[in-house]
């Protein structure tokens, strides 16, 4: 029943009600009954939508526009008569997907499998309709609402998906259907395959774009993979990485296992439990592979290029590069290789990068040992500050060390203390009490500040002395007096002997 209280008893009544619409400004509405059958699940791509004869208005063109029956008079005329229709393109895509290189079986075997599963598919479809209706069918099935994929097409896309050739989204793009039409079909057909004890073996082929599937079906190769492998070989040059290709491959193999475990642990925490039976995770290639993550991290640590340059090189966003660097850094810290390097008195920075020829004013590694004075003082300060204000307080205190002259350093301490006093009086008191320690470096030439306010050089010397004395104690104890050998090794570090 419509808003006028008229019962909508037939299609004729509905059409006449719509056609009788009139407005005071002279609007007339024409309505006709379309008896054609249209399949469900058809998707319209962005390119197809932009190709429609739509003329957008100057004011809010996304909302106000005119759709012309043929072409937009404001746009140049184009001949579209030679283009195939959507059903023809879909049929061609299905024939392409039936290639034995993609399905792993001959056409005769695929047809035999489809005929074998046909009755079970019909029974499953009728059961699903019975549950949706809530009872038996009241009349014969009509021609409306027909699925866009036939039973054989459902078997074909399920085989392609179970072989892990491409994802459901790629299949939807190829067939110009919605993903909602692909997902239920694969879920139902996979269950029937398991009931009939048909196992589909996965392949090592991974295609992430619809164009990659088309290229592989035509030529047997993927242009994207060739360009990607060529780019990786160029960036793996020992001149850029600072290590032989053999060492790089060994490092990639070691860190890839650690990275896979880290990713699976994060997904387990997000799911809140184990993966459900029959589901797959991470089988399709991501935007950047594990080897590319590790290579990008090495190039970044060696300061060969910036994060934005890495994003442009690997054709990803800067956020993806940042996440990759953070993940690889976590894996690097946990590997046994890194442990051996730390025992030898070296760090990831020393292992990855000899001095790079590119000059820069940035700090080499953001997470490296920062200046001891700043670190210990900030740690004491932030222990007395709420977490919500920690970043603000830390940033204000770091401005003290960013001043160009000694007088400005002392003045900045007073300014920061005065700024924090109303809200954090305890922090202001700590700043005033520690003024002499915080500004001690300012009495020396500015060129020496970075060496004075940090105790890292002294710590490195002490660590090297300790390492050499330990080595001497192990190997020279039987040949020389320990005290003489130790003094000789330690003196060579400090410049004596």
Which range, of 55-64, 348-357, 403-412, 453-462, averages the lowest pLDDT?
A: 348-357
- Provide the pLDDT for residue 348: 41
Report pLDDT digits (tens) over 214-268.
888 888 877 666 676 778 888 888 888 888 888 888 888 888 787 778 777 877 8
Q: Rounded distance, CA 314 to CA 234, Å?
A: 12
- Label residue 280 by pLDDT band (50, 70, 90): low
Query: Which residue bears the tokens 């283009």?
Result: 83
User: If 0-12 CB within 10 Å is exposed, 13-18 middle and 19+ buried, where does residue 43 land?
Assistant: middle
H/E run at residue 466: helix 456-475
Beta bridge pairs of residue 42: 177
User: If 0-12 CB within 10 Å is exposed, 13-18 middle and 19+ buried, where does residue 372 land?
Assistant: middle
Query: Is the pLDDT score of 453 beyond 80?
Result: no
Q: Rounded distance, CA 405 to CA 402, Å?
A: 9
Domain-wise residue ranges, the chain:
1-36, 86-135+146-219, 237-275+284-352, 372-454, 457-494
- Better pLDDT: 132 or 46: 132
Q: What is the pTM of this model?
A: 0.49
- Provide the pLDDT for residue 167: 86
- Provide the pLDDT for residue 72: 47
- Better pLDDT: 16 or 487: 16
- Provide the pLDDT for residue 257: 80
Beta strands in 118-213 (DSSP E): none
DSSP 203: -
Q: Rounded distance, CA 160 to CA 206, Å?
A: 11
Which range, of 278-287, 317-326, 356-365, averages the lowest pLDDT?
A: 356-365
Report pLDDT digits (tens) over 134-153.
888 777 766 566 778 889 99
CB 188 within 8 A of CB 264: no
- Provide the pLDDT for residue 47: 73
- Provide the pLDDT for residue 456: 60
State mean pLDDT over 43-64.
Answer: 82
CB 238 within 8 A of CB 245: yes
Query: Is the pLDDT score of 155 beyond 90?
Result: yes
Which range, of 28-37, 134-143, 191-200, 322-331, averages the lowest pLDDT?
A: 134-143
The fraction of the chain above a pLDDT of 70, given in percent, is 75
Q: Rounded distance, CA 111 to CA 106, Å?
A: 9
The fraction of the chain above a pLDDT of 90, given in percent, is 6
* Closest to 176 measured CA to CA, from 44, 326, 348, 29: 44
* Closest to 420 measured CA to CA, from 473, 363, 454, 381: 381
Report pLDDT digits (tens) over 170-214.
899 888 888 888 888 898 998 999 888 888 887 767 787 888 888
State mean pLDDT over 100-128.
Answer: 89
- Better pLDDT: 263 or 295: 295
Q: Rounded distance, CA 419 to CA 26, Å?
A: 69
- Provide the pLDDT for residue 434: 84
Neighbours of 3 (CB within 10 A): 6
State mean pLDDT over 380-390.
Answer: 83
Neighbours of 108 (CB within 10 A): 8
* Closest to 310 measured CA to CA, from 485, 373, 300: 300
Calculate the CA dihedral of residues 403, 409, 415, 418 and round it to 10 degrees: 140
Query: Is the pLDDT score of 81 beyond 60?
Result: no
Q: What angle separates helix 245-271 from helix 318-334, to the nearest 10 degrees?
A: 100
């Amino acid at each position: 029943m419509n808003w006028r209280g008229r019962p909508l008893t037939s299609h004729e009544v509905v059409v006449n009600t719509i056609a009788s619409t009139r407005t005071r400004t002279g609007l007339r509405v024409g309505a006709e009954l379309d008896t054609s059958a249209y399949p469900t699940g058809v998707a319209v791509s962005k390119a197809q939508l932009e190709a429609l004869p739509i003329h957008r208005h100057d004011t809010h063109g996304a909302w106000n526009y005119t759709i012309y029956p043929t072409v937009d008079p404001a746009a140049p005329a184009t001949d579209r008569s030679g283009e195939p229709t959507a059903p023809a393109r879909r049929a061609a895509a299905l024939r392409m997907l039936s290639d034995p290189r993609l399905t792993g079986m001959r056409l005769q075997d695929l047809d035999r499998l489809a005929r074998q599963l046909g009755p079970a598919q019909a029974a499953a479809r009728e059961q699903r309709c019975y549950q949706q209706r809530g009872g038996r069918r009241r009349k014969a099935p009509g021609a409306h609402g027909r699925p866009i994929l036939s039973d054989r097409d459902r078997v074909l896309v399920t085989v392609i998906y179970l072989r892990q050739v491409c994802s459901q989204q790629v299949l939807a793009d190829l067939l110009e259907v919605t993903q909602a039409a692909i997902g239920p079909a694969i879920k139902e057909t996979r269950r029937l395959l398991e009931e009939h004890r048909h196992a589909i073996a996965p392949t090592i082929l991974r295609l992430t774009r619809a164009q990659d599937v088309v290229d592989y079906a035509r030529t047997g190769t993927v242009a994207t993979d060739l360009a990607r492998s060529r780019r990786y070989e160029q960036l793996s040059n020992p001149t850029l990485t600072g290590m032989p290709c053999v060492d790089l491959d060994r490092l990639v193999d070691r860190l890839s296992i650690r990275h896979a475990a880290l990713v699976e642990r994060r997904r387990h925490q997000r799911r809140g439990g184990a993966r459900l039976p029959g589901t797959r995770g991470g089988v399709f290639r991501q935007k950047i592979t594990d080897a590319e993550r590790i290579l990008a991290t090495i190039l970044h640590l060696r300061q060969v290029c910036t994060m934005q340059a890495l994003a442009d090189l690997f054709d990803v966003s800067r956020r993806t590069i940042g996440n990759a660097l953070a993940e690889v850094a976590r894996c690097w810290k946990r590997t046994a290789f890194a442990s051996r390097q730390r025992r030898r008195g070296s760090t990831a920075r020393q292992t990855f990068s000899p001095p790079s020829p590119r000059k820069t004013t940035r700090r080499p590694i953001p997470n490296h040992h920062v200046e001891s004075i700043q670190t210990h003082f900030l740690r004491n300060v932030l222990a007395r500050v709420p977490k919500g204000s920690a970043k603000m307080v830390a940033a204000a205190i770091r401005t003290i060390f960013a001043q160009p002259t000694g007088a400005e350093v002392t003045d900045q301490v007073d300014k920061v203390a005065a700024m924090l006093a109303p809200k954090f009086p305890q922090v202001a008191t700590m700043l005033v009490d520690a003024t002499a320690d915080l500004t001690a470096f300012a009495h020396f030439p500015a060129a020496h500040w970075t060496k004075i306010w940090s105790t890292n050089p002294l710590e490195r010397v002490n660590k090297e002395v300790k390492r050499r004395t330990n080595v001497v104690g192990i190997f020279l104890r039987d040949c020389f007096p320990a005290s003489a050998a130790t003094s000789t090794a330690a003196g060579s570090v400090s410049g004596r002997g």
